[in-house]
Amino acid sequence: MNNKTIFSGMQPSGVITLGNYLGALKNWTELQDEYNCLYCIVDMHAITVRQDPATLRKSSRNLLMQYIASGLNPEANIIYYQSHVPAHAELAWILNCYTYMGELSRMTQFKDKSSKHNENINAGLFTYPALMAADILLFQTDVVPVGVDQKQHLEITRDIAARFNAIYGDVFKIPEPYIGKAGAKIMSLQDPSRKMSKSDEDVNATISLIDDPDTIIRKFKRAVTDSMAKVTFDEQNQAGISNLLNIYTAITGETIKNIEREFEGKGYGEFKAKVAEVVIEELRPIQQKFEELSKDNAYIDNIIKENAQKATYLATKTLRKVQKKVGFPPLIRSK
């Protein structure tokens, strides 16, 4: 234990993919013994694009169970719903007042999402980074594991924190990014120039954490490759095969060189079947655990309740300090 705090979160939209698992969750499980970890289900961020309420509720619970099924210990880590801890919204409001329109309009995620959801460019989508900054800063976070697509949001978080500290003294710890191991960025099986995304409309593009073995075999069979007929890591000319190599190495821990050697002179069919096999074996215990958790509502409810309390306790400490600094009057407590 190093007493440092890690915070990260995922949006509960759709079913999580092999990409989320290998790119984030699997790394998180390796950090849990060393750090104090908070893993949030960011349902407040999710509503920056339109969600069906019943689906959102279900996906949030599924995500929480998938965190646990993937190996995160809910007693050692704080796994909770963002919306259960009002301090997120309260700090986000304050931070909004220390964040500039100019810097928000430079965010690439805002530009992407507003062009994709042209009919609903709402203010929440625009101020999304202030809420994310609040998530992180509430817990005096040391380290934030994020993918490259979220690095810009972490940088703005650091800027907002430094700006606030420059005015009021050392209120927030300035968080550092933690970029996971190389090779953990998993791409679409149908278009290896794009990230594997749970919002992809092409079901063959992604492996879901709850796909059954036959589905996994079929999706890998259909994965896009090339006509070079050799299993080598070459992202320029063999993006599809390189992606499969990344998946294989992330699961087995074998080096790319060794894997290339293993499949020298062998066909893509054989390689794909082997990749499918290791994925199936990796996901099997996760799926079993997920099944068990799905049947144990009382246990999950208890995790939800207790972790929300723990997170609220920690978050409120920072929030009260901030409220005091900006000049809000103290609460009057009854004797």
| Catalytic center residues | 113, 195, 198
Write out the H or E segment, with its range, that includes residue 176: strand 176-178
Closest CB to ligand TRP among 149 and 296?
149
Closest CB to ligand TRP among 11 and 36?
11
Calpha distance 221→193 (Å, rounded): 18
| Nearest approach, Cβ of residue 109 and ligand TRP (Å) | 8
Sign of the torsion formed by the C-alpha atoms of 134, 135, 140 and 141: negative
Single out the segment in contact with ligand TRP by CB under 6 A; choices: 132-140, 213-221, 261-269, 294-302. 132-140
Residue 78: partners with Cβ closer than 8 Å, 6 or more residues away: 37, 38, 39, 307, 310, 311, 314
| Nearest one of 40, 126, 128 to 311, comparing CA atoms | 40
- Answer yes or no whether residue 8 interacts with ligand TRP by CB under 6 A: yes
Calpha distance 203→55 (Å, rounded): 18
Number of residues that bind ligand TRP (CB under 6 A): 14
- Answer yes or no whether residue 150 interacts with ligand TRP by CB under 6 A: yes
Calpha distance 262→231 (Å, rounded): 9
| Nearest approach, Cβ of residue 226 and ligand TRP (Å) | 30
| Nearest approach, Cβ of residue 133 and ligand TRP (Å) | 8
Token pair for 100: 């500039």
- Answer yes or no whether residue 144 interacts with ligand TRP by CB under 6 A: yes
Question: Which residue's Cβ lies closest to ligand TRP?
Answer: 9
| Nearest approach, Cβ of residue 151 and ligand TRP (Å) | 10
Q: Which residue in this structure is represented by tokens 């994020």? A: 146
Single out the segment in contact with ligand TRP by CB under 6 A; choices: 50-58, 146-154, 195-203, 322-330. 146-154
Which stretches of the chain bind ligand TRP, using CB under 6 A?
Answer: 7-11, 42, 45, 132, 135-136, 144, 146, 150, 153
